[in-house]
Structure 1
């Protein structure tokens, strides 16, 4: 599989020297690969089957306002849990938040079924370290040239990489998280949070319709279909937005912006902006670029629940912007 090296081959760059002892940045073992395959089947393949079953179930229980409301609301809260919690807070530390906000964002992000918070953060930090180079767990640009190589790369980065991959050493990539006991306690309950994200819409559907068919319909649309929709939106950031779109800012990888998808992705589709300024809580960078994730952070800040909200200065953005001739725009600062 593209981007996955056998366990017997670990480049020298994948070691970190701690004192006199080298420490591996990634871990590869049959046990971890079994866990990865199990997670892939449960939370990546099962939502596909669940979506097909939901469509078939329409012949028994037609979709109504309840199902649409469950699909939308669960998609929004879990999507914000990923982009604001997993990504902007826990991975990049673009703002600080009250303990209650930290816990809620960790739970909502976990309910998305994208992996436990510590593992997700370690993987994403590894992605930024090796982006579009050897070691990147989900680059679409390492499968060779031509149409065949591009299609193989897209399939790998969008979906197939999750079947089996080297596991980033959380001691190296997420030491700040594993020192946070409250967050670790939330992370250990990951499978329970995913189950809660499926049980809640089933309960609502059953109560509204007063029937088992309503509960099953709620499970499908607020649970499995919601998970399917959100997953493919997130995975499209990894795949398509490292191959297609605009590239306004200088960055060392092939990240792209896809502004037309900004609302659908909660602002994540300003992907080149993010790679150019990973410490920024705003991915849109300007008020007119839609970024719902940043809107939530600003609301939390207004309520005193978030602070130290980071954004790059105008001078820094101007210095990194690529001019029409394809080169960084000249800086006006000394």
Structure 2
């Protein structure tokens, strides 16, 4: 199958380079210990979500716990959307060194995997979006309802357990060459531990109690991580299966409005695939995109520059000819 690429202009060309430093946290094959660790990172927070309803019903939830949940949720969410995605993957803007480091750490605290691996997977996704080679297309197994149900499960979670890894030297050599970024990526478990422990530490110190530490950890760490995980994964699954498609793209990416606030603007996914390097995804009136707003603030403070804001003419040039938000078709992916 011949597939055209919409990888960003700033992204490195796919190539092998034996002179690059070693990749981060594993090579091209996922080991059993990595799969077990991944399973724990997924199941334990999810079980906490299931337990949150009876816990809130029985003991309630404090404003401190909710504040910890919201603060660390949006810290990690914007670390992923602004840092891992729009900056490191697509080069939607340039950043001064302190902001670059801060975005790398904030994204790592979302507990979604090492930076270099995350970027490599996403660049590969854009190269083969909803076609053979896409790591997480929901159309992988076909277009029938059973095939799509299987594909949605694959795109949402199952693909992460695939033993085959995206070659990091091939898809993210620029990040591997950066000593600071490579180090942050290799220290993923450290940043994950910090992310999970800070809510408990804050909760315990504010209340001066072990119960405050426990509830801070429960709501601010476990429940928060589970919610952020499933919102992020929904961009891979839901936003490639449903939603309006007012812009021209060669895949099935769609805009899903009800995910916009929780995803920090990422669910305006059709525009993103029509114009991957754009710093703003929600380009129409009323389309909330908190990530773009923060990038604007970074620009005004002088921390970010050369921001790729989409012009009206650029947006209009990418619209579907019928202007009705057509649900575009993409070539069905063959079952692997």
* Preserved contact between residue 82 and residue 103 of structure 2 (Cα < 8 Å): yes
Structure 1 residue ranges without an equivalent (≥5)? 1-14, 20-26, 329-334
Which piece of structure 1 moves more, 264-273 or 251-260?
251-260
SS at match of 1:44: helix
The residue that corresponds to 2:21 in the other structure is: none
Instruction: Note closer, same or farther for the CA distance 1:306–1:193 as it changes in structure 2 (3 Å cut).
Output: same
Cα deviation, residue 183, structure 1: 1.1
- TM-score normalised by structure 1 residue count: 0.85
Instruction: Note closer, same or farther for the CA distance 1:295–1:222 as it changes in structure 2 (3 Å cut).
Output: same
The residue that corresponds to 1:133 in the other structure is: 131
Structure 2 residue ranges without an equivalent (≥5)? 1-13, 19-26, 327-336
Q: Distance in 2 between matches of 1:84 and 1:197?
A: 18
The residue that corresponds to 2:195 in the other structure is: 197
Which piece of structure 1 moves more, 60-69 or 293-302?
60-69
Q: Distance in 1 between matches of 2:288 and 2:194?
A: 30
The residue that corresponds to 2:76 in the other structure is: 78
- The CA deviation string for residues 31-70 of structure 1, in whole angstroms up to 9 with x for no partner, is x242541342132122112333444544775311111111
SS at match of 2:255: coil
The residue that corresponds to 2:233 in the other structure is: 235
- TM-score normalised by structure 2 residue count: 0.85
Instruction: Note closer, same or farther for the CA distance 1:120–1:132 as it changes in structure 2 (3 Å cut).
Output: same
Cα deviation, residue 325, structure 1: 7.4
Instruction: Note closer, same or farther for the CA distance 1:232–1:18 as it changes in structure 2 (3 Å cut).
Output: closer
Cα deviation, residue 16, structure 1: 5.1
The residue that corresponds to 2:91 in the other structure is: 93
- The CA deviation string for residues 135-163 of structure 1, in whole angstroms up to 9 with x for no partner, is 11110012123221111111111111112
1:313 to 307, 311, 314: 311
1:174 to 172, 175, 187: 172
- The CA deviation string for residues 89-116 of structure 1, in whole angstroms up to 9 with x for no partner, is 1000110111111111111111111000
Which piece of structure 1 moves more, 228-237 or 178-187?
178-187
2:207 to 206, 209, 214: 209
Aligned residues: 305
1:38 to 36, 53, 56: 36
Which piece of structure 1 moves more, 208-217 or 220-229?
208-217
SS at match of 1:264: coil
Q: Is 1:186 aligned to 2:187, yes or no?
A: no
Q: Distance in 2 between matches of 1:155 and 1:209?
A: 41
User: Does 1 or 2 have the higher relative contact order (CA < 8 Å, sep 6+)?
Assistant: 2
2:143 to 142, 145, 150: 145
Instruction: Note closer, same or farther for the CA distance 1:152–1:80 as it changes in structure 2 (3 Å cut).
Output: same
